[in-house]
């Protein structure tokens, strides 16, 4: 559904992106170095840094542009006033693979030149058909306008996924996850933040150990779990199974235009207005079917109520 829409609006998105890049040219002026590689329309792009952010932007071209930014104590620096002898820097291409890596030697961060306060970030513009892998231990990660595969990891920052389709996998140990306009197969997990998803189609698995989950305009087969917060979910359509679970909050569900589905709801209290229902219901548990049955809605909480509108 959403993937079809992508094809219709991709030209518009590229124009908007080009305008934004032009409007933010001063950011490129701050780059420590810029490298451009001619590729096919679906290269492999591998990005790694031990102390900075990773941002990947898809574009309608057959080249990969790598911008490397260096900051000391939060301030942009250039080659004339910064020594990177404590880092192994690799920005190169090999066939249809482009690599951008900045690894601090020894991983200790100490150096005579204040290396502990230096962070190296990458902004990469790549063909929309790229297969992207990004890994950082010290910053946020983001990807947008990629229509192939995206695999992002960070130990210390947030994750942003926007206007993507294909195979998407993202992990963070210390930040929130924000998803917008994603179609395909999505897996996203955080150990220390909230999860927000808007306009998701396909199959999605979202998990957090330390925050709330907010789902809006969802058409996907959805599994969403949290150990430490509430879940609020609004579904545009309900054609495949939905599973929502929390140990530390309430669950609020709004499903539009649903008349035939299965129910398995449990919590301290379950609140809904049952219509055309067959099954068993108690104050804290409802199990059965609406209408003729169909896809199954499962919602469980051990620390709050379950509220359903349909």
On the question of pLDDT at 268 being above 80, the answer is yes
H/E stretch holding 268 reads none
Distance CA 302, CA 206 (A): 19
Closest CA to 231 of 300, 159, 173, 158: 300
Q: Average model confidence (pLDDT) for the chain?
A: 89
- Alpha-carbon Rg for the chain, nearest whole angstrom, is 22
Q: Are 296 and 242 in contact (CB under 8 A)?
A: yes
* Per-residue confidence (pLDDT) for residue 19, from 0 to 100: 36
* Per-residue confidence (pLDDT) for residue 248, from 0 to 100: 85
More confident residue, 83 or 254: 254
The model carries a pTM of 0.87
Q: Are 266 and 251 in contact (CB under 8 A)?
A: no
On the question of pLDDT at 93 being above 80, the answer is yes
b (16+ CB within 10 A) / e for 213-223: bbbbbbbbbbb
Q: Any idea which of 13-17, 44-48, 268-272, 305-309 has the lowest mean pLDDT?
A: 13-17
On the question of pLDDT at 61 being above 50, the answer is yes
Q: Are 105 and 88 in contact (CB under 8 A)?
A: yes
What angle is formed at CA 123 by the lines to CA 110 and CA 139, rounded to 5 degrees?
A: 45
Distance CA 256, CA 233 (A): 11
Distance CA 78, CA 55 (A): 20
For the chain, the straight-line distance linking the first and the last C-alpha, in angstroms and rounded, comes to: 22
| Predicted confidence (pLDDT) per residue in 174-226, tens digit | 899 999 999 999 999 999 899 999 999 999 999 999 899 999 999 999 999 99
Q: Calculate mean pLDDT across residues 271-299.
A: 96
Distance CA 27, CA 260 (A): 52
Q: What percent of the chain has pLDDT over 70?
A: 88
Q: DSSP letters along 44-90, please? A: EEEEEESSS-EEEEEESSSEEEEEEEEEETTEEE-GGG---TTEEEE
On the question of pLDDT at 250 being above 70, the answer is yes
On the question of pLDDT at 256 being above 90, the answer is no
């Amino acid at each position: 559904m959403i993937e079809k829409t992508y094809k219709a609006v991709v030209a518009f998105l590229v124009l908007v992106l080009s305008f934004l890049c032009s409007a933010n040219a001063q950011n490129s002026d701050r780059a420590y170095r810029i490298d451009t590689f001619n590729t096919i329309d679906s290269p492999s792009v591998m990005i790694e840094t031990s102390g900075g952010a990773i941002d990947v932007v898809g574009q309608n071209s057959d080249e990969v542009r790598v911008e490397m930014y260096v900051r000391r104590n939060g301030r942009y620096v250039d080659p004339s006033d910064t020594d990177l002898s404590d880092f192994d820097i690799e920005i190169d291409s090999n066939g249809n693979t482009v690599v951008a890596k900045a690894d601090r030697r020894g991983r200790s961060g100490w150096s005579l030149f204040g290396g502990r306060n230096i962070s190296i970030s990458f902004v990469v513009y790549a063909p929309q058909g790229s297969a992207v892998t990004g890994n950082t231990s010290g910053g946020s990660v983001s990807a947008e306008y990629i229509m192939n595969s995206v695999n992002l990891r960070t130990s210390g920052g947030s994750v942003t996924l926007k206007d993507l389709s294909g195979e998407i996998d993202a992990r963070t140990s210390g930040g929130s996850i924000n998803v917008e306009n994603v179609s395909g197969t999505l897996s996203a997990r955080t150990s220390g933040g909230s999860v927000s998803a808007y306009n998701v189609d396909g199959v999605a698995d979202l998990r957090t150990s330390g925050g709330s989950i907010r789902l809006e305009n969802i058409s996907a087969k959805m599994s969403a779990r949290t150990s430490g917060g509430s879940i609020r979910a609004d579904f545009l359509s309900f054609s495949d199974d939905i599973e929502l679970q929390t140990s530390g909050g309430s669950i609020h569900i709004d499903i539009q235009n649903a008349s035939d589905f299965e129910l398995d709801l449990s919590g301290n209290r379950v609140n809904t207005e049952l219509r055309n229902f067959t099954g068993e219901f108690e104050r804290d548990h409802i199990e059965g079917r609406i209408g003729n049955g169909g896809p199954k809605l499962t919602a469980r909480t051990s620390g709050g109520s379950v509220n359903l509108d349909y």
